[in-house]
Amino acid sequence: MDHAPDRDAAVAARLRQAGSVFAEEEAASLVEGSTTAEHLESLVLARMAGQPLEHLVGHVVFHGLRVPVGPGIFVPRQRTAHLVDCALGLVRETSTVLDLCCGCGAIGYALSRAAECEIDVWATDLDEVSVGYASRLLPAGRVVRGDLFGGLPSTLRFDLIVANAPYVPTARVALMPPEARDHEPRAALDGGDDGLAVHRRMAGAAGRWMTSTGRFVTEIGEPQIVAATSLYRSAGFDVTISRDDEIDATALIAWRRAGR
């Protein structure tokens, strides 16, 4: 719908009253994302009830790109742009890249759009709905469903693996904002007791899917730096950490130790 100052202000006031911190911006997005007055009203009520704005308007802007999302899947976080930027520094001409635990495919898509050379991006996720969204962004046949590497052709080897996998400790899931806690799949958030259960499995399996000079880039929480570094080292990798304090983003970059 087109903007109308009085109606937009009334929507913003209702959202603010329901607790929205960015009420004007959210009102503008809901107006733009609606087709009729009835549709707008249903979106406003859903937002006031706590549904993620991005699920309602059907997209998130990530790394400067409009990425489709919808109910039932994880909404890419702005901090994950740091993972993309770290990975971009590692892509080479003809790199074969895997977006592991891809969700809606935002990371792989951002890499394919921002890389200055031709890269071949694959993506995989356990969740059927996520795979459906990622398939809209990446070339046909490149998005597969499976447990970690389970659905991929066994002959593939990757120059770069990027993974924003679940890393929230189980006890902290209940403390997340309701948008995440109540509207994103538990399997997208819950990383087990210390948040590193999926990382343990990725570290154990990634080496055999990487070329000898391949790199593995993954997001973790800042409090996990010591434990995650030790975990990847124990699995045969050398590790470096890249931190962006401004957006509270931590990327762990790993490569196979010589001789492994």
Ligand X SMILES: C[S@@+](CC[C@H](N)C(=O)[O-])C[C@H]1O[C@@H](n2cnc3c(N)ncnc32)[C@H](O)[C@@H]1O
Q: Which residues have C-beta within 8 Å of that of residue 14, sequence separation ≥ 6? A: 44, 48
When binding is defined by CB under 6 A, the residue of 29, 34, 95, 164 that contacts ligand X is 164
Does residue 255 interact with ligand X by CB under 6 A? no
Q: Is 69 in the site for ligand X (CB under 6 A)?
A: no
Q: In this chain, which of 112, 130, 218, 250 binds ligand X, going by CB under 6 A?
A: 130
Which CB atom, from 44 or from 127, has the smaller least distance to ligand X? 127
- The residues in 107-126 that bind ligand X, with binding defined as CB under 6 A, are 107, 125-126
Of 52, 68, 76, 195, the residue at the interface with ligand X (CB under 6 A) is 76
The smaller minimum CB distance to ligand X, of residues 80 and 135, is found at: 80
Taking the complex as a whole, the smallest distance from the CB of residue 101 to ligand X amounts, in Å, to 3
Read off the tokens for 109. 């898509």
The HSE-up count of residue 164 (CA atoms within 13 Å, CB side) is 26
54 binds ligand X (CB under 6 A): no
What SS3 class is residue 237?
A: strand
Instruction: Pick the binder of ligand X from 68, 103, 169, 195 (CB under 6 A).
Output: 103
Position of minimal CB gap to ligand X: 103
| Burial environment of residue 220 by CB neighbours within 10 A (0 to 12, 13 to 18, 19 or more) | buried
Distance from C-alpha of 59 to C-alpha of 67, rounded to nearest angstrom: 5
102 is a site residue for ligand X (CB under 6 A)? yes
For ligand X, the closer of residues 34 and 195 by Cβ is: 195
Query: Does an H or E element contain 67, and which?
Result: strand 65-68
* Chain CA centroid to CA 85, Å: 14
Cα 121 to Cα 115, 142, 256: the distances in Å are 11, 7, 21
Q: Would you tell me which residues interact with ligand X (CB under 6 A)?
A: 74, 76, 80, 101-104, 106-107, 125-127, 130, 147-148, 164-166, 187-188, 198
